[in-house]
Chains A and B, each alone.
Chain A
């Protein structure tokens, strides 16, 4: 009966701990880890992803933790977006993650979709990527042979392509504490407000001193093959006066390569990218001033 979308036959594995999961990943070779499944299930239904083995990692205790250390905050890859939204300490210490999570998908999605899944799916429109990029986040990639830690900006290789090896699993997202000390803002534009993919989104982090920008991070999604940091624009802004930001952000169009698709034209993306980056910068500066007081 081929009336409906049908996922091809597969084996569903439910390892009891992380070690068992990593062992399976290595042994099976072609297995796909599944957490919330909100992207992967669609991809399997439409045939974009083919696998004979799924490894359910959503209940692994080792990657469901949120830890607050002196120098860093560690978020397990299988922490759901709703858990991030509901976590009072994250809301207080990294509110930009909550802002981004609240605007992602719908309640049904957020209840199961994970922060690690959003990163590993490596959509150009990944909403958790811009805030994590401006936080200078690092990722812990684990395999049965050991772990490695890489900066998030080294992780994305192209649309749905990442640095992950077939036997590796993203296990932790590491946010350095010092990056949290900034004024921040996340702005997303979609075709509507609820349950929508981004046309363009931006996250900004700023510190100013005597009305000059002394630290700035800008990251966007949906305007390049992967979510990106806007390094050139950041460079342009460093040392400039707060009232000069508008002119400086015009440079942004030189480093973004938006395409036209079902959600938006490239032209609209380009204009809105500049507009929301300026808005986010101004609001971040305001947030930093409030924080400093």
Chain B
């Protein structure tokens, strides 16, 4: 057992964990953040995506201890005081959510993408989304949501 200290959605947390634990299990089973989904568990499907120091990573392939001293962001971080983030508004507006299982991963990846590139082209969006599978295949609406999100974010 080891004690790990890291920033979860902007707040420092301290947890005692097994050294063989993945970041996915730390978030879901220890901290009960179930927006981080358990999918393929082997880095194929992308629904376990979180931001580690602002970069999208697969939490299922990340040893929990890699988070030590770093920032972990899940989708809970985005809405503030009951107000949704423009990216979340955009996903609602374009109807980019079907079953919703991949949505947190796509929203977080959009958040990271828009930090790097304020006006991504359709090609950029597709390239940066190569790591998440929407099993409802709702990609057209998801790409549309990112375009709307980039407009909304640039306005505010």
Q: Which residues of B contact A58 (CB under 8 A)?
A: 66
CB distance from A123 to the nearest CB of B (A): 14
Q: Which residues of A contact B88 (CB under 8 A)?
A: none
Task: Please report which residues of chain B, range 3-48, place their CB below 8 angstroms from some CB of chain A when the two chains form the complex.
Answer: 18-20, 22, 38, 41-44, 46
CB distance from B138 to the nearest CB of A (A): 17
* Residues B131 and A108 in contact, CB atoms below 8 Å apart: yes
Q: Which residues of A contact B109 (CB under 8 A)?
A: 107-108
If the complex has contacts A14-B65, A105-B131, A108-B57, are A45 and B20 also in contact, measured as CB distance less than 8 A? no
If the complex has contacts A10-B19, A106-B131, are A112 and B42 also in contact, measured as CB distance less than 8 A? no
If the complex has contacts A9-B18, A107-B130, are A4 and B63 also in contact, measured as CB distance less than 8 A? no
* Residues B130 and A111 in contact, CB atoms below 8 Å apart: no
Partner-binding segment picked from A33-41, A167-175, A198-206, A233-241: A33-41
* Residues A41 and B22 in contact, CB atoms below 8 Å apart: yes
Q: Which residues of A contact B130 (CB under 8 A)?
A: 106-107, 194-195
Q: Which residues of A contact B44 (CB under 8 A)?
A: 195
**Residue A286, interface by CB 8 Å:** no
Nearest-CB residue, chain B, relative to A111: B55
**Residue A11, interface by CB 8 Å:** yes
Most buried by B among A105, A111, A194: A111
If the complex has contacts A106-B130, A108-B56, are A56 and B65 also in contact, measured as CB distance less than 8 A? yes
**Residue B49, interface by CB 8 Å:** yes
Nearest-CB residue, chain B, relative to A36: B61
**Main SS at interface, chain A:** loop
Q: Which residues of B contact A109 (CB under 8 A)?
A: 43, 58, 131
| A20-64 near B? 1/0 per residue, CB < 8 Å | 000000000000001001100110011000000010101000000
- A195 to B129, alpha carbons, bound, how many Å? 10
* Residues B22 and A38 in contact, CB atoms below 8 Å apart: no
**Residue A7, interface by CB 8 Å:** yes
* Residues A112 and B57 in contact, CB atoms below 8 Å apart: yes
**Residue A8, interface by CB 8 Å:** yes
Q: Which residues of B contact A231 (CB under 8 A)?
A: none
- A106 to B55, alpha carbons, bound, how many Å? 12
**Residue B77, interface by CB 8 Å:** no
* Residues B131 and A12 in contact, CB atoms below 8 Å apart: no
Q: Which residues of A contact B122 (CB under 8 A)?
A: none
* Residues B65 and A42 in contact, CB atoms below 8 Å apart: no
- B63 contact from A5, A34, A108, A195, Cβ within 8 A: A34
Nearest-CB residue, chain A, relative to B53: A111
- A6 to B22, alpha carbons, bound, how many Å? 9
| A187-198 near B? 1/0 per residue, CB < 8 Å | 000000011000
- A63 to B44, alpha carbons, bound, how many Å? 28
* Residues A108 and B19 in contact, CB atoms below 8 Å apart: no
CB distance from A157 to the nearest CB of B (A): 26
CB distance from B52 to the nearest CB of A (A): 8
Q: Which residues of A contact B22 (CB under 8 A)?
A: 7, 41
* Residues B57 and A195 in contact, CB atoms below 8 Å apart: no
* Residues A111 and B65 in contact, CB atoms below 8 Å apart: no
Q: Which residues of B contact A107 (CB under 8 A)?
A: 56, 109, 127-131
List, sorted by A's number, 12 A–B pairs whose CB atoms are closer than 8 Å. A9-B18, A42-B43, A42-B61, A54-B63, A58-B66, A106-B130, A106-B131, A107-B56, A108-B56, A111-B56, A194-B127, A194-B130
Known pairs A5-B42, A112-B57 / 15 extra A-B pairs, C-beta < 8 Å: A12-B20, A14-B65, A14-B68, A38-B61, A42-B61, A45-B41, A46-B42, A105-B131, A107-B130, A108-B56, A112-B61, A194-B126, A194-B131, A195-B44, A195-B131
